[in-house]
A and B are shown apart, each in its own frame.
Chain A
Amino acid sequence: MMETAHNELSQLLSQISGYIYPNEIEVHWSILIVVYPYLTGLVAGAFILASLVKVFNITELKPTYRLSLITALSFLLIAPLPLLLHLGHPLRSFEIFLTPNLSSAMAMFGFVYAWYLMVVLLLEIWFDYRVDMINFAKTAKFPMNWFYKVISLFSTDTSPHAIAIDKKVIKFITIIGIPSAFILHGYVGFIFGSIKANPWWSSVLIPIVFLFSAIVSGIALILLLYMIITPSRGIPIDMKCLDKIASFLLYAVIIDFSLEILDFIHRLYESEESIKILTEMVMNKLFISLVVLQVLIGMIVPLSILIIIKLTGFNQELRKLLYFLSAILIQIGIFSTRWNVVLGGQMFSKSLRGLTTYKLEIMGIEGFLSALVLLILPFFILALLIKILPPWKKTEELPI
């Protein structure tokens, strides 16, 4: 174990340019720490899309409401895994609950996660599906009927009055859910943004940029899922819904892009001490992941496509194709954004005199395959949830 670590680090020695502090040769926050904000970003973004239906009454998005909720849940359940895999002592992670250091943003993780999972997401899903769960409890076979009885908490009231109460509660939960989603993902941005030692991270804008890129990626994910699942159910895609999703996607991308341009201009204008090494890092180590993937392919191309569609209005089939393409490019772009923030911050030395390299292993607990599995797992959970808690009504009697 020590041998392989020694060999890996020795290989990095030849990749250093300039001068780095001797302890900086090891990159501590690996691809797993890139995956984590990507996952929670999707959670926050999907939830925001759902909240547009309940709080702002954007009725065109109704077909995606439940899908957004259970997508958020699938990704939220997997989100702690990359963190646990990355810790040196994952079995001690309960200490975050017992003795949280109140000045540490990372200590918030346990509480914010628990709050969001229990009080926002699970609660909202429960109230929205309550009547359905009661009906499934009646119609399902053993053992599933008992399963539905338990998760509906043995509730039986399906009167219009109870349903009205459900709707009120959902609205209330969504209202507190929006700032909760902001905090769930925003605190991750704050974890980076509050590190004064690191000029790549230390910025007021990072929590905001994280949040808006999360919204972008979440909306794009729901767009993709909606476009894939609906035809597989044999139902035509509701173009009003799709166009609405794409509209909100466009607005979110515009805001996100503006924020990133603002950060870029601000850095160049102020031209602080770190500008030389950061420029060198961007042009040498991060050129493909930042200039090509994040900005060009992940932001400018989809933005242009969405604007063109908005202005000229193509036919239905072309729109579907372009939306799909844009959403995929956006996912690549937002993942690259996370990569550039996390790894960019570690590839230059705090002496501002040198650059090091991150070598992504294929195997290993923090390797490429591990990250891939973590990214795919939520979809399996989503498939399971779609089976247990179908997002779309099957009969006329069940309300959405």
Chain B
Amino acid sequence: MKRKQFLSFTGKILFLFSTGGIFGSLLKGSKIQSYIDEHPQVVRYALGIQIDKCIGCGNCVVACKIENDVPKDPFYFRTWVERYIIKKNDQVIVQCNEGGAGKLSQDIQEREILRSFFVPKLCNHCDNPPCAQVCPVGATFQTDEGIVLVDSERCIGCSYCIQACPYGARYMHPETHTADKCTLCYHRIKEGKLPACVEVCPTQARVFGDIESKASPLTRLKRMNKIHVLKPELNTEPKVFYTDLDGEVK
């Protein structure tokens, strides 16, 4: 009698626990799901640029113009590549022929050069964007993913944002008469592709990634290199992270 009672008692307890456990885990699972639905994982896109890898080929400039229908004239660039030549007499020469897609001049002699390198530049998609701060109608704004965009149907073409950008990343589109700039190929990255400039960089000098992610090429870049941004003293909190950036680059 005692064993039977004991066994039945234990069985009941086990049953209770197991059903309770299954039920509880089902409940918890659905709670997790609704939590995930209400709190989608935060993503913040940014770009890394490794100066020592850039060969100044200009493929990024050309691809950006093709992908984004940027006017072909050399007065409008969403991204460009500057060439710095620091001579032994401390003179600094900066060149940017057709945004970096043009021919590289060959007239500097090696014996005069102290340091020389290429610096790709683009909109920094700042986290404290001075352009969004000054737009009178709120046409330029930052998305949840950290990309700064321009609403070309709202923009009135006052050029205030172009004056406020410390990096010269913006231009007035000659056909739409609205402000225009790099969107980090928003239409591509939302489909899981890379921005066009990153896609065509032959040396992987440009690194695209999610800085919120614990495992992305950009996170590794920020771990393994000394990072610099352009004009940090202006507190724009830019999200283009340069490695090996020289102090002469403004």
Contacts and interface: CB of A to CB of B under 8 A. Distances in A.
Direct contact of A and B (CB under 8 A): yes
Interface of A: 1-2, 5-6, 9, 18-26, 28-29, 86-90, 92-93, 95-96, 99-101, 103-107, 109, 191, 194-198, 345-346, 349-353
**Which 10 pairs across A and B sit closest by C-beta, in order of nearness?**
A88-B157, A21-B168, A88-B177, A197-B166, A28-B159, A19-B94, A106-B136, A107-B136, A101-B138, A95-B137
Interface string B89-110: 0001111100100000000000
A1 to B, nearest CB: 8
A96 B137 contact: yes
Interface string B76-93: 110010100000000011
A376 to B, nearest CB: 25
Interface of B: 71, 73-77, 80, 82, 92-96, 99, 121, 130, 132-138, 154-160, 162-172, 174-178, 234, 250
Nearest to B78: A23
A107 B134 CA distance: 8
A203 to B, nearest CB: 15
Interface of B is mostly: loop
Contacts of B92: 353
A110 to B, nearest CB: 9
A388 B234 CA distance: 53
Interface of A is mostly: loop
B178 A89 contact: yes
Given A96-B136, A196-B234, A351-B94, A88 B175 contact: no
A196 B174 CA distance: 26
7 contacts: A23-B76, A23-B169, A26-B172, A28-B172, A29-B159, A88-B159, A88-B172
Contacts of B137: 92, 95-96, 99-101, 107
A22 B80 contact: yes
Contacts of A198: 163
Contacts of A23: 75-77, 162, 168-171
A26 to B, nearest CB: 6
Contacts of A99: 137-138, 154
Contacts of B177: 88-89
Residue of A23, A346, A350 with highest tally of chain B CB at under 10 A: A23
B134 A352 contact: no
A28 B134 CA distance: 16
Contact of A19 (B95, B121, B160, B163): B95
A150 B121 CA distance: 61
Contacts of B130: 195-197
Nearest to B234: A196
B197 to A, nearest CB: 15
A219 B151 CA distance: 43
A351 B167 CA distance: 8
Given A22-B75, A350-B168, A106 B159 contact: no
Contacts of A90: 156
Residue of A101, A106, A346, A349 with highest tally of chain B CB at under 10 A: A101
B136 A101 contact: yes
Contact of A88 (B76, B133, B156): B156
B132 to A, nearest CB: 8
Contacts of A25: 75
B133 A103 contact: yes
Contact of A195 (B82, B155, B163): B163
B121 to A, nearest CB: 8
A26 B234 contact: no
B136 A197 contact: no
Given A23-B170, A88-B158, 14 more contacts: A2-B175, A6-B73, A22-B77, A88-B156, A90-B156, A95-B137, A95-B156, A104-B136, A105-B134, A107-B137, A195-B164, A197-B234, A352-B250, A353-B92
A280 to B, nearest CB: 15
Contacts of B76: 23
A26 B156 contact: no
Nearest to A196: B234
Contacts of A28: 159, 162-163, 172
A3 to B, nearest CB: 11
Contacts of B166: 196-197, 350
A95 B154 contact: yes
Nearest to B73: A6
A104 B134 contact: yes
Contacts of A101: 132-138
Contacts of B165: 197
A93 B73 CA distance: 29
Contact of B136 (A18, A21, A100, A196): A100
A26 B94 contact: no
Given A28-B163, A350-B167, A353-B250, A22 B99 contact: yes
Contacts of B157: 87-89
A109 B75 contact: no
A349 B121 CA distance: 15
Given A104-B135, A196-B130, A350-B168, A22 B159 contact: no
A101 B136 CA distance: 5
Contacts of A26: 75, 171-172
B158 to A, nearest CB: 6
Contacts of A18: 94
A397 to B, nearest CB: 49
A26 B177 CA distance: 13
Contacts of A92: 137, 154-156
A345 B162 CA distance: 12
